Structure formats: C-alpha cells, structure tokens
Amino acid sequence: GAVVSQHPSRVICKSGTSVKIECRSLDFQATTMFWYRQFPKQSLMLMATSNEGSKATYEQGVEKDKFLINHASLTLSTLTVTSAHPEDSSFYICSARFLAGDATNEKLFFGSGTQLSVL
C-alpha cells in the first residue's frame, strides 16, 4: 500500500534555530500534502495545505513566516520551523493525498510524525 515517510521522527533543538521536517510519498505522487500539529491527548490541528508547484494555503492563525512550507516535487513536501521557540514544541504530522482513477478512489496517508522539542 501507499506509504508516507516523515523524517526526522524526533528532534531536539536550541531556541532560535530552524528545523526542517520532510514528508515523502514513497510510491505515489501526491499533488496535495497537509501539515498538522498535535498537542498531547488532543486532535489534529491543520496548519496548512501544500500543493505541488504553488504556495501553501495556511490556516487562520498560523504564521507563514514561522512555518515555511515547500512542495517542490510531487513526492516531497517540507516544513521548516524558523527561529524555533519552546512554544513551538509539539508533534507535527504530514499527510499526503493519494488519488488514482476517479474521485471515488481517494485516500489520505499519514507520516509517522515528528516530535519537536525546543529547549
């Protein structure tokens, strides 16, 4: 089945540094990828929708300059947390849309997540 690879799975960084998280669709082309943030024991909060070759669409309240998203190819989207601070510590999850054939065969696959800890 379709697989989404997300790296790194865990990262610890100092306050003020930038961190890049990669999300790859391994055996399918994903024109659309989604980036989520999840706090402990809470639901997923959509941060942005990433479309290949175009600018990401950010949800209200999400800082575009803080969370840079690049979707340069059909199999790779990256999320860069710039000038990270302790409040950015969270679990980040990506998801890729798989669409084969008609619209009834659409599925969403998730990466395994990245736990970011900012000291």
Partner 1 sequence: AQTVTQSQPEMSVQEAETVTLSCTYDTSESNYYLFWYKQPPSRQMILVIRQEAYKQQNATENRFSVNFQKAAKSFSLKISDSQLGDTAMYFCAFMKHQLAAGNNRKLIWGLGTSLAVNP
Positions touching partner 1 (CB under 8 A) are: 31-32, 34, 38, 41-44, 46, 49, 51, 57, 91, 93, 95, 97, 99, 103-104, 106-108, 110, 112-113
What one-character DSSP code corresponds to residue 59? P
> CB-wise, 51 or 82, nearer to partner 1?
51
CB of 112 to partner 1, least distance (A): 5
> CB-wise, 58 or 118, nearer to partner 1?
58
What tokens appear for 68 in the block?
């840079």
CB of 43 to partner 1, least distance (A): 5
CB of 22 to partner 1, least distance (A): 17
> CB-wise, 73 or 83, nearer to partner 1?
73
Nearest-angstrom CA–CA distance, 24 and 76: 5
Q: For residue 114, what are the β-bridge partners?
A: 92
Distances (CA, A) of 91 to 24, 35, 38, 78: 17, 11, 5, 15
What tokens appear for 5 in the block?
């690879």
> CB-wise, 57 or 80, nearer to partner 1?
57
Nearest-angstrom CA–CA distance, 4 and 21: 13
